[in-house]
A and B are shown apart, each in its own frame.
Chain A
Amino acid sequence: MGIIVNLDVMLAKRKAKLNDLADATGITPQNLSILKTGKAKAVRFSTLEKICEFLECQPGDILEYENNQEEK
């Protein structure tokens, strides 16, 4: 998939744990794990807003686009 989720990178930068994020945003740790591993098919704006609010960052810091075709 061309979209990469850098949630673990941002969590490490903010020195926060996944469970802290889950407690603060109300998103279940299971769902955050799906998001972190890149298995998620879509992210709601409301979820993105909550994550950005907690991590004090922009959506672009969490999501990144990588062109797979160029690599090939």
Chain B
Amino acid sequence: MEKILKISKIMKYSLNTIIIILIVAIILLLVIYAGITTTDKGDMLCFGTQLYSSEQLSDIAHYYVEIMHSAIPFQLLTDFWIKSILMFVIIYLGSISCFIYYHLKKLFSLYEQGLIFTIQNIKHIKYIAWGILISAFCRFIFTIGIWFTVNKHINIPLSINSAIPINYILIGVIAYSISLVMEEANKLKEENEMVI
């Protein structure tokens, strides 16, 4: 029991930090991505909202910029659909991750209080499991969507491995099974409380 309390305390504070970092990262990504264009404006190069003179860039940076320009057509980066899909991915997957971390934090705070086999715990584990399964489904849809959009410009082979997030599905199913096991454990606990 002491070990559970210690781990729960560490996990609770870690998850709090992760949630804050995640929210900040989502906001930053949206702000940065909203302004990304990689077109040349004369001698100036545009990254995000900043304009850089090509002379200002180091040789290595210049090398990467050239690679980027040759590999990804300009048309692709300004494509409305790909921009919208990526924005949606950032918002949707980010919010699902926040949802999962929030319930994980709640779960560990209950463990910290010494509440292990309660209905609230089961509820949080179920939310986590559904969150993981929904994020797996979204990843599948987004991978297919992005592949179709990108495929108009560049031929990229789509593998089953990258399209179907097997790991996420497995973790989600395992988490859901754990919640069902916890339900049985809760019944046993309640029965045990009624044994005099």
Contacts and interface: CB of A to CB of B under 8 A. Distances in A.
- Real binding pair: yes
Interface in A28-53: 31-32, 34-35, 39-44, 47
Interface stretch (B1-9, B56-64, B157-165, B188-196): B188-196
Interface in A12-35: 27, 31-32, 34-35
Contacts of A47: 196
Of the candidates B191, B194, B195, B196, the one having the most CB atoms from chain A within 10 angstroms of its own CB is: B196
A39 B194 CA distance: 7
A60 B195 CA distance: 19
Interface residues of B, number: 4
A46 B195 CA distance: 12
A38 to B, nearest CB: 11
B188 to A, nearest CB: 11
Interface in B138-196: 191, 194-196
B194 A43 contact: no
A68 to B, nearest CB: 20
A41 B191 CA distance: 7
Contacts of A31: 196
Contacts of B196: 27, 31-32, 34-35, 40, 42-44, 47
A22 B50 CA distance: 78
Nearest to B192: A41
A42 to B, nearest CB: 4
Nearest to B194: A41
Contact of B194 (A27, A32, A40): A40
Interface of B: 191, 194-196
Interface of A: 27, 31-32, 34-35, 39-44, 47
Given A31-B196, A43-B195, 18 more contacts: A27-B196, A32-B196, A34-B194, A34-B196, A39-B194, A40-B195, A40-B196, A41-B191, A41-B194, A41-B195, A42-B191, A42-B194, A42-B195, A42-B196, A43-B196, A44-B195, A44-B196, A47-B196
